[in-house]
Amino acid sequence: MTDCPSRKRKRVYGTFACDYPDCDRAFSRADHLSRHKRNHDVSRNYRCTWPQCLMTFTRSDIKDKHYKRHLTKSNNYQDTDSFPRLGKTLSPSDLIEWLFHEENSIPYESDVLSHQNGSKGFDFLEVFQLKNHSSQRKLVSESLRDSFITLIPSLGSNIDFSIPKLERALEIYWLIYHPQYPILHRPSFATAESNPLLLLAMIMLGTSLSSCTGKSEDFENPNLMADEIAIPLRWLIFSHGECKPPAKAWVVQSLLLLETYEITSSSRFLHERAYLHHGSKVQLLRRSPVLGGDHSNDEVGKKWIEAESIKRATLMAFYLDTVHATVYGHMIILYAHQIKLSLPCEEELWENENEYPSKVTSPPKFLSTLKKLLHRRKVETGAFGKKILLAGLLTIMFQMQQKDLQLSFLEWNTMKESWKQTISLAIDVWRVDICTKDGCCDTLNSLKFPQEEVEKLPPSLRLDDKRCKFGLYHISQIYMRISHYDYIIYAGAPRRMNVKAGMSQYKGVEARINDWSNSINGGVSVIHAYLFLSEMLLSEDNDDISYSYDPNGDPFLHRRNIIASAVLVIFAYNFSLEGPEANIFDRIQGDYYPDKEDAHLYLRRIKKSLSKHGSFKNLTSSQFHDSTKLHASYLATIPGKNNIVGLLKFFYKAYRNCHWEIGREYSNLFKNCMERCLGRAKITCETMYDTKLL
């Protein structure tokens, strides 16, 4: 056989010279020259994202090789003193370097969340006088009521849609909701000058909060009217001609108020609808610069109000995004490094009914304040600012959790406990140093209301109420150590976010729960759950005083969900470690569920046992943080921690007639856990979503 001529293509060689000035390199291949030319392109700047590394590169492949050397070196080093960022601790500086420098290198389509105040800004406002609209912020005329009915015709036949009740709903909004989320400018607000859709959102919230006023209200069916507004309101806002970039303040404000109601106070349908459309609101903000700049003297007041209003709305959107991710396990959209705004202005300035001062202290930037907090340095801000800073710490937690998932295969696991320690301590610094002496239980840490409104406040919002106002603080320390998915599936939920959890999924959850409950992280989680429920149900000053709990009457709309989560965490921890309280389920007749201790007796006993190992009062932030871990280590010495049938029964009854449909789902889940604690073998709560009101 004769050899066939080779068909292999012959490469054509030539001389490919670099034409960059003073460069004498030449290559035999064009692709090699093209790659070489990237070294001269200064517009390409790839930064190494390794903590404390300042190297930059013009080619991404060289940067990647450099980064891999960091990884190899860190895996080989055992001496943490020789290789400090990657040892057993991750300092706040390393954390900031890792997060903010890496993320800031990512180009966004527009830096629309920046505070673009122009060359002049609002650091020195001229004296200006605004009309005091205190008598007009809840005024509803016949023509205004008619405009509401034009927008939603069915309201015309609703018995509660009368002018006196509409005005009362607005009054309740200003009394209960506004002190928690002051995104509207109360002094200059007038209904006649406001968009009807924003007013409808305020009426919707005020109506739904009528059960929280502490007095008998004149509404026949407030929840029906609130839903009747909420269902079409989202489409009315979206279809309005001003619902486009740049967003008007009223558009964002209306969407925020609607989202709060949908998520916390209505049906599962509206809850899920709010989550699906949450991203639309965020995208609207991303394409809308904050208003501001140079204005004439007669305009400066209104322009400042508009700029501060949209800033506050943006910060609230950021806060709600974080709260819903923490409390409900939703996907987070906004991160701390994207919020390049200053903190809210002083509440005394925002709520001032009269003349504004000639000089105003410019509030600090959010990011710089957040970095101070990570460095455990005290900062000053008002009640709304405190909420935003806590949300900032939580978004960093979420970012690091994502990095855990992304980088676990790259030996990142050694860093996990390190960053958790840094952020967990920063959250305790927030509670002890940023808040006043009573921390999360001090009303003034979470609310700002005018002095003349004090006597009108419901008991749960008054200064002498010492129950927890910042459940988000406790649930953040819990969520850092256990996921919402794990404890709700372990409790017996048949699905989450419409995805069914079969037995294989439950077994995986069960294994994670067992590992968690046998770790210090499990102990710290349940200590915070006990602290929170004790703050809600027991008097701090008198052991003979205990509190009931009605989710329908809770003015802190997210607190009802955080309470439910705390109960489920206590169930998961104790059931996994010690099993059921008793094995008598097969002998139970009817709806009688015997318990060894009621909720208050159980919590008081646990609290007393823990108090033997020290108090949480009058401690520095570091001492408070260490005390939590110390108390967690003593949990094993407390007998009968699984006597939780009485606790579950208390909240099962409390949530059974909740106006909020998800609250009724929790009631069913509490009953499921109660039956398992009495020896029932079946795990899943098949009736969880059977939520008809009794």
Q: For 593-644, how does the pLDDT look when each residue is reduced to its tens digit (9 = 90+)? A: 999 999 999 999 999 999 988 888 888 888 999 999 999 999 999 999 999 9
Tokens of 336: 């701390």
Higher pLDDT, 528 or 108: 528
What beta strand segments (E) does 451-573 contain? 495-496, 499-500
Q: Residue 52: which pLDDT band, with cuts at 50, 70 and 90? A: low
- pLDDT > 50? residue 295: no
- pLDDT > 80? residue 694: no
Close Cβ partners of 299 (under 8 Å, ≥ 6 residues apart)? none
For position 291, what pLDDT does the model report?
A: 33
| Cα gap 546→604, rounded to integer Å | 10
Q: What is the mean pLDDT of residues 36-50?
A: 72
| Cα gap 219→226, rounded to integer Å | 11
Higher pLDDT, 120 or 32: 32
For position 618, what pLDDT does the model report?
A: 84
At 57 the three-state DSSP class reads strand
At 308 the three-state DSSP class reads helix
232-241, 507-516, 522-531, 684-693: range with lowest mean pLDDT: 684-693
| Cα gap 641→637, rounded to integer Å | 10
For position 598, what pLDDT does the model report?
A: 96
Query: 468-503 burial, b if ≥16 CB within 10 A, otherwise e?
Result: bbbbbbbbbbbbbbbbbbbbbbbbbbbeeeeeebee
5-19, 135-149, 202-216: range with lowest mean pLDDT: 5-19
- pLDDT > 50? residue 456: yes
For position 3, what pLDDT does the model report?
A: 47
pLDDT digits (tens, 9 = 90+) for 245-268: 888 899 999 999 999 999 999 999
Q: For residue 126, how many other CB atoms are within 10 A of its CB? A: 12
Highest mean pLDDT among 152-156, 327-331, 445-449: 152-156
Q: What is the mean pLDDT of residues 185-209?
A: 95
Q: Is 261 left (phi over 0), alpha (psi -120 to 50) or beta?
A: alpha
pLDDT digits (tens, 9 = 90+) for 373-391: 888 888 889 999 999 999 9
What are the phi and psi torsion angles at 662 (to 5°)? Answer: -65, -30
- pLDDT > 50? residue 1: no
pLDDT digits (tens, 9 = 90+) for 14-30: 678 888 888 888 888 88
- pLDDT > 80? residue 152: yes
For position 298, what pLDDT does the model report?
A: 47
- pLDDT > 80? residue 666: yes
For position 649, what pLDDT does the model report?
A: 97
Q: What is the mean pLDDT of residues 560-567?
A: 97
Higher pLDDT, 274 or 10: 274
Give the residue carrying structure tokens 């823990």: 610
Residue 342 DSSP class: B
- pLDDT > 70? residue 125: no
Which of 415, 633, 401, 670 is closest to 522 using CA atoms? Answer: 633
For position 119, what pLDDT does the model report?
A: 33
Highest mean pLDDT among 91-105, 151-165, 500-514: 151-165
- pLDDT > 80? residue 59: no
CA-based end-to-end distance of the chain:
94
Higher pLDDT, 92 or 126: 92
For position 11, what pLDDT does the model report?
A: 46
| Cα gap 443→456, rounded to integer Å | 15
Q: What is the mean pLDDT of residues 450-467?
A: 88
Evaluate the CA torsion angle 668, 674, 676, 680 in order and state its sign.
Answer: negative
**CA 491 from centre of chain:** 23
Percent of the chain exceeding pLDDT 90 equals 53
Please give the model's pTM, rounded to 2 decimal places: 0.83
Evaluate the CA torsion angle 473, 479, 480, 482 in order and state its sign.
Answer: positive
For position 132, what pLDDT does the model report?
A: 63
| Cα gap 543→113, rounded to integer Å | 49
Q: Is 309 left (phi over 0), alpha (psi -120 to 50) or beta?
A: alpha
Cβ atoms 532, 563 nearer than 8 A = yes
Query: 427-461 burial, b if ≥16 CB within 10 A, otherwise e?
Result: bbbbbbbbbeeebbbbbebbbbbbeeeeebbbebb
For position 126, what pLDDT does the model report?
A: 43
For position 96, what pLDDT does the model report?
A: 65
Close Cβ partners of 249 (under 8 Å, ≥ 6 residues apart)? 306, 309, 310, 313
Report how far apart, in Å, the C-alpha atoms of 39 and of each of 26, 50, 374 are.
14, 22, 38
- pLDDT > 90? residue 90: no
Q: Residue 98: which pLDDT band, with cuts at 50, 70 and 90? A: low
| Cα gap 132→352, rounded to integer Å | 10
Residue 46 DSSP class: E
- pLDDT > 60? residue 123: no
- pLDDT > 70? residue 128: no
Close Cβ partners of 620 (under 8 Å, ≥ 6 residues apart)? 432
For position 407, what pLDDT does the model report?
A: 61
Helix axes 300-328, 559-578, angle to 10 degrees: 20
Which of 607, 589, 587 is closest to 597 using CA atoms? Answer: 607
Q: What is the mean pLDDT of residues 570-592?
A: 94
Evaluate the CA torsion angle 639, 644, 645, 650 in order and state its sign.
Answer: positive
| Cα gap 609→631, rounded to integer Å | 10
For position 670, what pLDDT does the model report?
A: 98
Q: What is the mean pLDDT of residues 48-69?
A: 71
Tokens of 351: 């709520």
**CA 327 from centre of chain:** 7
Q: Residue 73: which pLDDT band, with cuts at 50, 70 and 90? A: low
Q: Residue 56: which pLDDT band, with cuts at 50, 70 and 90? A: confident
Give the residue carrying structure tokens 């710089």: 368
For position 358, what pLDDT does the model report?
A: 56
For position 127, what pLDDT does the model report?
A: 38
- pLDDT > 50? residue 9: no
| Cα gap 386→472, rounded to integer Å | 12
Report how far apart, in Å, the C-alpha atoms of 248 and of each of 238, 291, 348, 465 are.
12, 9, 25, 37
For position 500, what pLDDT does the model report?
A: 85
Per-chain mean pLDDT for the chain: 84
- pLDDT > 60? residue 294: no
